[in-house]
Each structure stands twice: as C-alpha cells, then as structure tokens.
Structure 1
C-alpha cells in the first residue's frame, strides 16, 4: 500500500513540475509579446519624428528606452532557451529510458511467446493438470494457465502503450528542437537590430555633442517651462491643502463652540440647583453649600492637529485605499513606454530633475485616471493642459494633454477617460504622483 502511495506522490510531483514549466513558458512568451508591443510603439514614433532634421532629446530618450526594451527581450529569449534546453535534456533522457524499457519488455514477451508455443498442445496442458498430486494442486495449475494467458495479453497491450508513449515523446522532442532553432534565429535577429540601434544612438549622441550649445539652450528652455508648470501644480496642491486646513479648522471651531454652549447650559443648570440648595439650607438653619470652582471654557482652536487632507473619514479612507494599491495602479494610458524616469538626469554637461515619469504613447491616446478621486484643477500650460486629481492626501497629475473631458469639482472613477494626447508625432504624457507636495516615483506605484 505504501509503495502505491509513494508512486502516486511521485507522478503528482512530475505533473506539477510539468504544469509549472508550461505556465512559466507561457508567461515568458506573454512578457516577450508585451515588450515587442512597446518596441513597436516607440519605433512608430521614431519613424514619424525622424522626418524632422532637428534631433530632439525626446527622440534620444525614445531610442534609449527602445534599446533597453530590446535588451530585456533578448534576456527573455535567453531564459526561454535555457528552459527549453532543460526540457530537451529531460525529454531525451525519457526517450532513452522508454527505449530501454521497451526493449526489455519485448525480450520478456518473446520468451513468453516461445514458452506458449512449446506448450500450445491441449494434450500437454491436460497432462500438466492431471500430473498434480491432489485436487488443490490441479486447481492451482488450471488457474496458472488461465492467468498466464491473461498476463500475456496484458503485456502485449502494455508494450503497445509504451510504444505510443515513446512516439509521443519523440514528437515532443522534435517540437522542442524546432522551437530552439526558431529561438536561436530570433535571438540572432534581435541582436542584429540591437547593434543597429546602438550605432544610431552613438551617432545621435555624437550629433548632440557637436551641437551642444544649441541643445543646452533647448534644454534650458524646456526645463524652464517644466519648472513653471511644476510650480503651478504645487501651488494648486498648496491651495487644496489650505482649503482642507480651513475646513478642518472651521469644523474644529464649530465643535468647540458647541462644546462651550453645552458647558454653559450645564453651568447654568448647576447654578440654579445650587441656589435652591442654598436657600433650603438657610431656611433649615443648616450649613450653606459653597459654589464649586467654575472651569474656564476652552479657547477656540488656532490650528488643526494632524493632516488636514485626511481630516474627514471619507478622505482618510480614500487616502488609505490609494496607499494600499501601491504597485498595482493601472497605467494612465492603455499602451506606452517609460522613456524618461523619475529623478535626476544628465544631458551632456547639464543636469535636470524629473518630478514624475515621461510615458511615450500612441497618437490620440486616451488618458485615464489611475484611481478614483476628485478633479481639483484643469489648466492650460504651454500649449497643452494638465489635470490634477485629489485622492485623499495623494494627488495625481497628467500633463501635456491635447484635450480635456473633465472639469474641476468632478468626481472620477478608476480608468475613466479624462482627456486625450496629441494625434500627431510621438506624444509624451508627463505623469506625476504627490503625497501632499512631496513628489513620489510613479514607477513604483503603477503595475509592472
């Protein structure tokens, strides 16, 4: 019984490993397809912008991002090949094992057939039975002859099953080898493309170095515009914080006024009761009770304790829900690639900061809210628009929109369209997340 239990566990483990390998293979193919979609999107944008003779930083960023994606894709292909090599080795060993088992089974079956041919005469079988010492031995010999015949049939079926299994494994192995050949060709093709793009990148960087003065001026102009927009965004956030602070302070003052009114009413009632008690004591010639010390009423609050943006239960709940979705927020566009990350960047000898991430997307792409919240600001900026959405103590910003479909004060839901990108060129969405006025790295918040 134990032996069968161990065999069952062994086959279950093999099945689980095979299922895991298949799942991992499917995940790798899915990842490779996703990377290729991003590469195609960037290449489409590069094809459109390459018509312009003037090289821009956006083109260089897109080219750099494309090279990174291609390197990631090659890494995925290498992982696929390693996994496939493991499967090929495993299947080769299985084929060899099955061939050995089949040869042994055929050898045993041939021996049984020769034995059966020697004893096929019915008279000899009868003599074999009648030569028994007693009835019990005769019965056992009859059963033996019957079981031998049945066993021979089972062995024949078992050999056929083994042959079928062997043929199936050979087909799988052949498929593995063809797939490996295809992956090798794909890897070679991707490496060739990568080398070409790296050459193009080197030429672009060389061009920038030759025209460094012009690019420094362009960068300074672009950074000046970005700084102006960032100041406008932070001013809008500060206004929201101030509005929340005033509301919280007004609420606290109202609650304090109610508390004072209740305390005054209670004091009046206690004074009236004391006056009655004192009059009664005098009439009965008893000690007159003294008035207790009156507690000074609390002054109106001058400031709000804690974060005013989470002062209400609703805003605190929304802020907590946003925080709990860190790493799984949807992208603000359906398809795109991060072409400039968060933080400090260097271009030539100049450095600049990006308080969000730049996502290159498709022309005319719909821009979506990454979480439910309230639109607080919609404002034109440098020929485009930006939208600011409040999520408790968090804010999300969507810059460089060509058109906007929401208004200040409007409540939006997750993935609701709030505007669209430009329908020409290679549009770049500037996406930011703030906690209060502190910039967060959006790459750590959106799903990978």
Structure 2
C-alpha cells in the first residue's frame, strides 16, 4: 500500500511541476514579445529625437512604450509568483521525500536484521519442517521467497527515492537562483520605467508649449483627418448604393424574364434583404466572402508584420478634445510593408496631403489602411491575405498606420478581429 501511495505522490509531483513549467514558458514568451514591442518603439523614438518639433505620433509612441514597460513588470511579478509556488511545492516535496526515505530505510534495516537472524540454511529448513501440515509448509516456502523479493524491491525504492530527492534539491536551487535573477530584473525595469516617466513629463511639457506654437498645424492635421474620415464613409456609402442598384436591377430583370415566359413572378425581397448587409451580400460570392471574414474574427493577421497599438478604437480625449477614432493606430518599423488582412477587392485608392489610403471590400465588410507613403495596388484589383498593398509613411514622426474595419457603414473595433 505504501508503494502505491509513493507512486501516486511522485505522479502528482511530476504533473504539478509540468504545469508550472508550461505557465513559466508562456510568461517568458509574453515578456519577450513585450520587449520586442518596446525595442521597436524605442528605435523609432530615437530616430525622431533630433527633431525640434514633436508630433502626436511620438507622444502616442512614448505613452505606449511606458504602458508596455508596466505590462512587462507585471509579467515579471507573475513569474516571481509562479516561482514562489514552485519553490513552496518543491520544498514540501523535499521534506516529504526525506520522511519517506527515512521510513524506507528504517523498514529495510528491520528486514536486514531479520534476514541476518535467519540466514542459516538449517534454520530455514527447520522453519519449513516445523509446519503442522504440507499446506502450511508450502506457504512458508512462498513466504521466504516473497520476503527475499520484497527486500530487493525495498532497496530499489530507496535508490529511486534518493535520486528523486537529489533531483528535487537541484530544481529547488535552480528556482531560487532564477527568482534572484528575476528580482534583479524587476528592479532594473522599475528603474528604467522611472526614467521614462521622467522623460515623458518633460516631453509632454515641451509638447504643450509646441502645441500653442504650432496650433495651426495641429488644427490642419485634424481637419485633414476629418476629411479622410468623410471620404471613407462616402466611399463605403457609394459601394452600398452600387450594391443596392445592382440587386434591384437583378430583381427587375428576373421579374421581366418571368413575365416573358408566362411564369409566376419571383418573390419580392424580404425586409432583411433590403438592409445594407442584404444588398452587400446579394450575390453568393459576396455572401461566402462575408461568412469567411466573420469566421476569422479574432484571428485576422495584422496589417503590418510587427507593431504596437498606440491609439485605440472609440471616443477618447486627445489635446483636451474628444476624438472619435474609427480604428486603431499601429506604430511599426520605418518602411514597413502594409498587408491586406483578408481576401478582397480594392474599391478605393486615394491621397491626401501626400499620403495614401486604401479601401478593400470583403463582402459586407471593408478594411481601411491609412497613412501610406506609396501603394502597390489599384482600384478593382483582387488581393489575397497578407498581400502587400503599400508602404507605411514615416514622414511625420513615428511610422504608424491607421487601420479600420467596417461592417457596412458601421465601424468595428479592429482589436476584436485581429490576432492577439
């Protein structure tokens, strides 16, 4: 019975260690990913540091970098808590194994003493012949055989427990050293964070002064963005109107054909078919593409290979004014390729103040890619997932793309659609 309890204990111990290891590996991958984002933002900020004129994109990049550094410290704290759990479990395991080892050695010593007292072959024979009948004699023979086998098994259990104890002690020492390194890393990251927050305060103060100095430029940029937003809405509305006209023409053609062939007129479109989604999904191809797009919600690729979200979707304050952001801004590397996030058709390629934006239709869904230095697609062109459609512009501060997803005329939060 004790043997089975030992096996169960070792199984639970191994399983628990594996679970901790998996969690630790996930935390390390997350920490490395955060550090890559921090490095990318720092690289961009270093390039723009020589500029006398700060931009909103630089402020967003600096704020995002600080948030990422705080997230990294949070991950390090989780790693430390994870290690504390491992250390506690392994400490208990070492104590338990030591107790089991002491008990096994005690039992083994008792068996050795018994074996020494009865090691004489004559004594063994007398023990067998002293049986009252043949059946009892047979049982005594089997007992002596099993006793010998059990003694060997106990010796194996002792060796196995000693090896496991040694291994657990090594793991415990490694965990303690790793925790020490993490605590040092935590202190280093907190120091860096403090310096960056100090830098942030200086930059914001400087930007506040520049904002008054360059108020006309700031107002012009906001006016330009408002115009682009209107153009995008108008472009989507044109696509909806075009789809509606085609659906109505198809319905009239079907009715005319039925009359010419003296057949019953086709059923009138339902209320659902007369919505924007109904018009945009009027053809089987469009409906299939829309369904495929929906099925990839949460797993669409990013419009750039690497980057960080520096401004999120929805209403928030920028420069003391409420801004309705129809998408997200993603800071990326200078000259980064911008990619289509799904199969679709280019419906709009336009330019404003020397920068391009592209609108791609995916059934009833649309994706928008703003702030491109150049484009490599044209209106009417079919594109595939991850196909390059242009290059991000970095002429005004940190290189970043404004990415949007629309369902008909309703903007969607891209973070709910792109891969985590």
**Structure 1 CA distance, aligned partners of 2:325 and 2:133?**
100
Cross-structure match for 2:330: 359
What SS class does the counterpart of residue 415 from structure 1 fall into? coil
Cross-structure match for 1:383: 354
**Structure 2 CA distance, aligned partners of 1:163 and 1:47?**
56
Counterpart contact for 2:211–2:218, Cα < 8 Å: no
Which of 305, 313, 316 is matched with 2:274 structurally? 305
**Structure 1 CA distance, aligned partners of 2:172 and 2:156?**
24
* CA offset digits 1:242-300 (Å, max 9, x no partner): 2212211211221121123233x89xxxxxxxxxxxxxxxxxxxxxxxxxxxxxx99x9
For residues 26-105 of structure 1, what are the structure 2 equivalents within 5 Å? 26-105=25-104
Counterpart contact for 1:331–1:446, Cα < 8 Å: yes
Cross-structure match for 2:313: 342
1:150 Cα deviation (Å)?
2.2
Which of 377, 381, 384 is matched with 1:413 structurally? 384
1:365 Cα deviation (Å)?
1.1
1:259 has 2:230 as partner: no
What SS class does the counterpart of residue 330 from structure 2 fall into? strand
* CA offset digits 1:19-43 (Å, max 9, x no partner): 4333222222111111111111101
**Structure 2 CA distance, aligned partners of 1:238 and 1:330?**
26
1:68 Cα deviation (Å)?
0.9
**Structure 2 CA distance, aligned partners of 1:157 and 1:66?**
57
1:323 Cα deviation (Å)?
2.4
**Structure 2 CA distance, aligned partners of 1:12 and 1:104?**
20
Counterpart contact for 1:365–1:423, Cα < 8 Å: no
* CA offset digits 1:325-373 (Å, max 9, x no partner): 2222111011000111122333443333322111000112111111111
Residues 322/45 of structure 1: CA separation in 2 closer, same or farther (3 Å cut): same
**Structure 1 CA distance, aligned partners of 2:244 and 2:136?**
103
Root mean square deviation of aligned Cα? 2.7
1:245 has 2:214 as partner: no
Which of 380, 386, 403 is matched with 1:431 structurally? 403
* CA offset digits 1:1-59 (Å, max 9, x no partner): 9x97x999887766554443332222221111111111111011111111112222111
Moved more, 314-323 or 372-381: 314-323
Q: Which runs of 5+ in 2 are unaligned?
A: none
- Between structure 1 and structure 2, the one with the greater Rg is 1
1:186 Cα deviation (Å)?
1.4
Counterpart contact for 2:392–2:399, Cα < 8 Å: yes
Equivalences, count? 413
Moved more, 328-337 or 128-137: 128-137
* CA offset digits 1:72-110 (Å, max 9, x no partner): 111111112112111111111011000011011111112
**Structure 2 CA distance, aligned partners of 1:58 and 1:229?**
18
Which of 256, 268, 288 is matched with 1:317 structurally? 288
**Structure 1 CA distance, aligned partners of 2:152 and 2:158?**
10
1:376 Cα deviation (Å)?
0.8
What SS class does the counterpart of residue 353 from structure 1 fall into? strand
**Structure 2 CA distance, aligned partners of 1:306 and 1:258?**
25
Taking structure 2 as the reference length, the TM-score comes to: 0.90
**Structure 2 CA distance, aligned partners of 1:440 and 1:423?**
26
**Structure 2 CA distance, aligned partners of 1:129 and 1:352?**
98
Cross-structure match for 1:235: 234
1:368 has 2:367 as partner: no
Residues 86/416 of structure 1: CA separation in 2 closer, same or farther (3 Å cut): same
**Structure 2 CA distance, aligned partners of 1:312 and 1:13?**
58
Cross-structure match for 1:165: 164
**Structure 2 CA distance, aligned partners of 1:245 and 1:348?**
41
**Structure 2 CA distance, aligned partners of 1:147 and 1:235?**
90
